[in-house]
Chains A and B, each alone.
Chain A
Amino acid sequence: MNTFTTNIQLVYVLAAACFVVGLHLMNSPATARRGNQVSTAGMIIAVITTLVLLIHEGTVTAVGWTVLIVGSLLGSAVGLWSARTVQMTAMPQLVSMFNAVGGGAAALVAIYGYMHDESAPGGVLGTTSVFTVLDVLIGSVTFTGSLIAAGKLQGIISGSPVMIKGGRLITAALMVVGLGSAAFMLTTASLPALLLVVLASLAFGVLMVLPIGGADMPVVISLLNAFTGTAVAMAGFVINNWALIIAGALVGASGGILTKLMADAMNRSLSNIMLGGFGTGDTAIAAAVSGDAQVRAIAADDAGIQLAYASKVIIVPGYGLAAAQAQHGVAELGALLEQRGIEVSYAIHPVAGRMPGHMNVLLAEANVPYPMLKEMDEINPEFPRADVALVIGANDVTNPAARRPGNAVSGMPILDVDQAKSIIVVKRSMGHGYAGIDNELYTNPKTSMYFADAKKAVAEMTAAVKTLVG
């Protein structure tokens, strides 16, 4: 290593340090923006350093420069456009697309490196082969897997589990082909074997995500995020670059942690999620609710009175709220109640929304101050003190049946909504949630059902509160 390349590596380490500090600042909403800026600065440093290195080496051809510049500019434009225009409800799709392109780019870097080394006099080093294979495997699986996940979230591909006849058999065959070629590459450098690994991995990615249901997407996206990070770290090993190794490891760790958090919050093991959709793998036993259980319906005026004369209201938003685009209306209702001196908070279940923390972003967009957003462990002890729990578009995460063994939601951490003094549930019908079982909360004597679309219901309740209190 001469002085110049040593300095370059040192600057890369500086960039990596910026990433760590940036992520560290994300531990509070107050400093998170600064964190993103520090991280951006690290990235700019890394890119500029790389450009300096390229100019210094002087081996890039005119065509090479054109290709890199045009490619980067086009990519930046696409990235900028999608980041600026994306709806907050569509964030999971966008994150998934970024996973796809990140994983794809990581795989391409390794593929190119391998092609280059193979034609070079020294050939491919054994250790390089190991990392190349890992990078290509993970990167390719991430690429197609993320595209399928994004497609499912966007509704282009059916959100329900898609089972292909003999899918397991095909998956097994792909694994044999992929891993077989990979093993072969470790002894003999072979480009065709690498391409076989690529093709098998691409197909495997599709088959891996297709059978997973829409409700499990938070876990899948987290997992694919971890995959992308790992693929990037492997690319770092291939081209021996510390910035890639450190950044990739950080992302791998974050994806891993979030995956575990999400799986825990759904009370399901990762293998259970990956191997089949809700209600398809496990035998779902219906909860013990008799068919003729009484449900009490409520009108806007009564709901308005309950809310207006409460002293503490907890709002429980679920994905149904976002799907109905009702978050702005809910924020308005919440602010109106607050103005009357009512203590309002929002109970956010870890899997509310389509990705980890999604509901918080949706409510933040609707101008709800973040101190009002409470996590499950924080809010659960507060339910007994709440006069009204207003459940909007949340279902399985409020089902008290989860406390009993023997049904599809057993053991799942839930919000203790049934402990509130009275409960209003806004729902379009008595339909089931993803778990496919009855929600015992709805037949609770303290519960009133408000049958309407979330947006309409919230507007009606707000109007009722306004006329009541002038």
Chain B
Amino acid sequence: MSTALVTDLTIFVLALLVGIEVIGKVPATLHTPLMSAANSIHGIVIVGALLIGVTAHTTVGYILAFIASFFAAANVVGGYVVTGRMLKMFRRKAAPAPADPAPAEVQQQERESVRS
């Protein structure tokens, strides 16, 4: 076994343990955003896809690099945007949202104004 491999394996095992420790503490309320966040993190494969580009110089290589970068970019951008969108909805108090009020939020605002 080469030193590089041993290092890689060490990192892998430790990261796995860190992951179990950190994620075990996430409440069930946030499990969907958590999974979505994990989803965007595995979008790191975009780095792998870009690194393919270093050596690509055949048609097959270009095609593979193209598909890989397309897939990975969709994963990473979509993942982060949708996670952010979800987390924005979690509120401690039912406060009216500033931008583009959905029907429920409009009703909420009406209720708030009645109350005050």
Contacts and interface: CB of A to CB of B under 8 A. Distances in A.
Interface residues of B, number: 93
Given A101-B71, A250-B38, A16 B30 contact: no
B13 to A, nearest CB: 8
Contact of B49 (A51, A108, A127): A108
A343 interface: no
Q: Which of A12, A65, A102, A241 has the most CB of B within 10 A?
A: A102
Given A73-B73, A245-B12, A102 B29 contact: no
A236 interface: yes
Interface string A327-349: 01001100100010000000010
Nearest to B68: A108
Interface in A12-61: 12, 15-16, 19-20, 22-24, 26-30, 32-33, 35-37, 39-40, 43, 46-47, 50-51, 53-54, 57, 59-61
A246 interface: yes
Contacts of B46: 47, 50, 72, 105
A350 interface: yes
Interface string A400-422: 00000000000000000000000
A247 interface: yes
Q: Which of B18, B19, B41, B55 has the most CB of A within 10 A?
A: B41
A305 B69 CA distance: 59
Nearest to B92: A369
Q: Which of B36, B60, B70 has the most CB of A within 10 A?
A: B70
Given A64-B65, A248-B42, A261-B28, 8 more contacts: A23-B38, A26-B26, A27-B27, A36-B87, A75-B72, A251-B41, A361-B33, A365-B102
A365 to B, nearest CB: 5
Q: Which of A43, A79, A229, A235 has the most CB of B within 10 A?
A: A79
Interface in B11-37: 11-13, 15-20, 22-37
Contacts of A113: 52
A148 B75 CA distance: 17
Given A43-B80, A50-B47, A127-B1, A105 B115 contact: no
A357 B54 contact: no
Interface of A: 12, 15-16, 19-20, 22-24, 26-30, 32-33, 35-37, 39-40, 43, 46-47, 50-51, 53-54, 57, 59-61, 63-65, 67-68, 70-76, 78-80, 82-84, 86, 88, 91, 94-95, 98-99, 101-102, 104-106, 108-109, 111-113, 115-116, 127, 221-222, 225, 228-229, 232-233, 235-237, 239-258, 261, 328, 331-332, 335, 339, 348, 350, 353, 355-358, 360-361, 364-371, 373, 375
A184 B104 CA distance: 60
B37 A80 contact: no
A19 B41 contact: yes
Contact of B44 (A33, A70, A247, A257): A247
